[in-house]
């Protein structure tokens, strides 16, 4: 390795007077090559997914993941590795959910459902009620208390198949999951079921976070996701006979908050140690799968970024920090804690990059940046062309880095190919066997390359916050 490096350094020296980007392209080439031939992301994810598994905030697995990540970062020989305490919600699913449609007494058909994260349980004997299908809150409102009271509200607006970026389809639907119980409870519904947030037509229910808003504990109603196949079936059955009943039993519970941690590792900057560059993902996941895509991948890719700097002996000018956030899925407590501590300590985060959109082939990045900084970023675009990274757009970053935004810094989110993502997201199909090693590794290399460029060139006209 050191021989390669000295060759690179020699070449960088040769070119540094004529064209910076020639040196940069050599470094990027080395980053991609090392990630693809000698990477550690896949092996790490194998352990995190298969030896630890799903890591819901507050669970024993989440604790094990924290300890494992800390020990792996220590092995990298970083300048500092630490745990940042944060209190997190602890919601447990309990025994698996059970649901069926009853067309007449004794005639039932089982349905694939799962409780939404944060939902209350049903009474121990379950809930059986008629169903009213809606596709929007407006439609619910138009029906009014008369048609809703005592019933189960079934939100069945499907994700829009015609949109290329599946995250945009998701955003156009997820209000049903997040706010559905809140709205339905106001009209006297006894429970809600919501069509799973996926473009696949299959048997898997997809969980995810929800909120009861300002509803009192007494007003809260159980909320479950139903598979898309069963949503279609239920909808057809309702068209034939709207007096059929739906039975739902779930056994979830919200316990007291518990102590958990963000895991933080860093390489001190050699020239501007007070300028921080952050790369991260979230260590918690939902409980149905093993959280390989959401967001084990983002965690091991972020760890890999720092590992690549170490093995390639690239000494950052600025302080490089990996943060594995806790509790992105149902509270964002880790991100909020990290941002507030960082404000308190007046840490100047010039750039923060998150990977939380799956382990698929990276297409580029979304950015939150002012025009000058975005122009600098666009000037790097050609460097990524050999790796088929073309997508550099304004328009977002990630949930965990979001709270770090200020008027001068830049945030970004890795943008992998999105077509398969919601086939896995929050379901029992988010598992390691669906990860492609190379796609994961190209993602890590793409992140490391952008971080390398940000470290080298810094912010344009960076001013103190």
Active site (catalytic) residues: 328
Q: What residues form DSSP beta bridges with 224?
A: 115, 193
Closest CA to 278 of 165, 396, 404: 404
Minimum CB–partner distance for residue 199 and a second copy (Å): 6
What would the two tokens of residue 435 be?
A: 């990860």
Cβ 361 to a second copy, closest distance in Å?
5
Which is it for strands 127-134 and 318-325: parallel, antiparallel or unpaired?
Answer: unpaired
Report the residue number, 165 or 175, with the smaller CB distance to a second copy.
Answer: 165
H helices within 241-349, ranges in order? 297-311, 333-344
- Which residue lies nearer to a second copy by CB, 125 or 164? 164
What burial letters (b/e) apply to 444-460, b meaning 16+ CB within 10 Å? bbbbbbbbbbbbbebbb
| Distance in angstroms (rounded) separating the CA atoms of residues 143 and 187 | 9
Residue with token string 């019933």? 151
Angle separating helix axes 2-15 and 20-38, nearest 10 degrees = 160
The vertex-212 CA angle with 210 and 216, nearest 5°, equals 155
Binding site for a second copy (CB under 8 A): 32-33, 36-37, 161-162, 164-166, 199-200, 361, 363, 386-388, 390-391, 417, 419-420, 423, 436-439, 442
Q: In terms of CB distance, is 77 or 386 closer to a second copy? A: 386
Structure tokens at 325: 């956030």
Closest to a second copy by CB, 229 vs 420, is 420
CB of 397 to a second copy, least distance (A): 19
> Alpha-carbon distance 446 to 438, whole Å?
12
Cβ-proximal residues to 3 (8 Å cutoff; 6+ apart), any chain? none
- Between 175-186 and 137-148, two packed helices, what is the crossing angle to 10 degrees? 30
To the nearest whole angstrom, how small is the minimum distance from the Cβ of residue 423 to a second copy? 7
Q: What is the four-CA torsion angle of 204, 205, 209, 214, rounded to 10 degrees?
A: 170
Q: Which is nearer to a second copy, 197 or 401 (CB)?
A: 197
Nearer Cβ to a second copy, position 225 or 435? 435
CB of 360 to a second copy, least distance (A): 8
Angle at 70 between CA 66 and CA 71, to 5 degrees: 120
Kindly state the smallest distance separating residue 313's Cβ from a second copy, in Å: 19
């Amino acid at each position: 390795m050191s021989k390669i490096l000295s060759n690179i350094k020699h070449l960088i020296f040769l070119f540094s007077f004529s064209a910076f980007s020639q040196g940069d392209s050599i470094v990027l080439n080395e980053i991609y090559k090392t990630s693809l031939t000698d990477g550690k992301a896949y092996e790490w994810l194998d352990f995190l997914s298969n030896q630890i598994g799903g890591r819901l905030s507050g669970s024993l697995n989440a604790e094990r993941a924290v300890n494992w990540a800390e020990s792996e970062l220590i092995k990298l020989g970083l300048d500092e590795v630490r745990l940042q305490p944060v209190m997190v919600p602890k919601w447990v699913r309990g025994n698996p959910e059970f649901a069926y449609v009853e067309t007449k007494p004794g005639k039932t058909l089982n349905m694939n459902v799962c409780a939404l994260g944060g939902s209350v349980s049903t009474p121990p004997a379950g809930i059986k009620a008629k169903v009213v299908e809606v596709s929007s809150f407006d439609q619910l409102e138009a029906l009014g208390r008369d048609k809703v009271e005592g019933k189960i509200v079934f939100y069945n607006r499907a994700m829009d198949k015609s949109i290329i970026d599946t995250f945009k389809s998701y955003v156009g639907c997820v209000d049903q999951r997040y706010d559905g119980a809140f709205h339905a409870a106001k009209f006297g519904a006894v429970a809600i079921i919501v069509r799973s947030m996926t473009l696949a037509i299959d048997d898997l229910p997809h969980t995810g976070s929800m909120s009861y808003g300002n509803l009192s504990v007494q007003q809260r109603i159980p909320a479950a996701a139903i598979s898309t196949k069963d949503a279609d079936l239920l909808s057809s059955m309702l068209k034939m006979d709207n007096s059929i009943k739906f039975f739902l039993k779930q056994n979830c519970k919200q316990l007291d908050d518990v102590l958990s941690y963000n895991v933080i590792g860093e390489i001190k900057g050699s020239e501007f140690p007070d300028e921080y560059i952050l790369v991260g993902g979230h260590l918690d996941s939902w409980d149905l799968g093993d959280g390989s895509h959401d967001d084990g991948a983002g965690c091991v890719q972020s760890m890999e970024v720092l590992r690549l700097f170490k093995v390639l002996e690239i000494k950052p000018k600025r302080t490089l920090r990996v943060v594995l956030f806790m509790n992105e899925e149902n509270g964002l407590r880790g991100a909020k804690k990290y941002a507030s501590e960082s404000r308190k300590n007046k840490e100047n985060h010039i750039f923060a990059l998150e990977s939380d959109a799956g382990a698929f082939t990276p297409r580029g990045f979304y950015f939150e940046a002012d025009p000058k900084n975005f122009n600098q970023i666009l000037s790097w675009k050609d460097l990524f062309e050999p790796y088929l990274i073309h997508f550099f757009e304004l328009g977002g970053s990630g949930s965990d880095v979001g709270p770090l935004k200020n008027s001068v810094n830049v945030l970004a989110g890795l943008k992998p190919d999105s077509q398969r993502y919601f086939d896995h997201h929050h379901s029992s199909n988010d598992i390691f066997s669906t990860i492609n090693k190379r796609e994961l590794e190209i993602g890590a290399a793409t992140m490391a390359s952008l971080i390398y460029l940000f470290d080298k060139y810094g912010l344009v006209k960076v001013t103190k916050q």
